[in-house]
Amino acid sequence: MKAVVLGSVAYSDNSYMTKLFTRESGMVTVSVHTGGRGAKVRRSFLLPLTLLDVELTGRENNEVKYISDCRVYRQCNDLIANPMKMLGSQFICEVTEKALKFQTSADGEIFDFVEEAIVEMDELKGDVESWMIVYMYSLMQQVGIVPDLSDYRLGMSLDLDEGRVVRYGKFARETEVLVRVLGGGDVGNDFLPLAEFMIKYFQRHLEGFGIVKSLGLFE
């Protein structure tokens, strides 16, 4: 089955607990061993946003699965070679994992969206930070919490709780930049405050979304 690597935590030199988002089973936790001749997974396979074709084993009622076979089905070399994309991959992984953590059943449409976004990010020639803002907004659409910006006029602010723009509010600047970026503009120096604002929106509308630690990479 197709899978996207969304995070790995080492628990020994060659063993990891890895979060995969799969096309057939949604979010899956797998125990991975990368050492020894019989290992099915190389350590490089666990890099953020790696696109894998995996076969999983394990009892149906067991939360942790095992990989019986694995290969990379599409190389995304620029995500590794480009320093900004490498940082962005970690951030996108964490945001995606938190947004989809309770997605434990098949949803081909959401998987296809994530897969296409990874390929697009790999091939991107423009501004990575602006692209990430658009991705976060598109992810909101995929999980059904996208805010309504249709009535936006300059000076209006997105209400985090109501999910719509209002005439008065404390996020007028962030809302202005968001509308500009969604319209094809660059985020400029506003990436960090705008990303923080959008994370707050995720937190208000997705229970258990939590803190995005990788945002600190851009400070």
- pLDDT band with cut points at 50, 70 and 90 for residue 93: very high
Distances (CA, A) of 191 to 93, 146, 209: 17, 19, 20
What is the signed CA dihedral for 17, 22, 27, 32, rounded to 10 degrees?
A: -10
Percent of the chain with pLDDT over 90: 81
Read off the pLDDT of residues 10-26 as tens digits, 9 standing for 90 and up: 887 788 899 999 999 99
Could you give the 3-state DSSP secondary structure of residue 142? Answer: helix
Q: Where are the alpha helices (DSSP H) in 59-209?
A: 78-81, 83-100, 108-123, 128-143, 172-182, 191-205
Give this prediction's pTM.
0.94
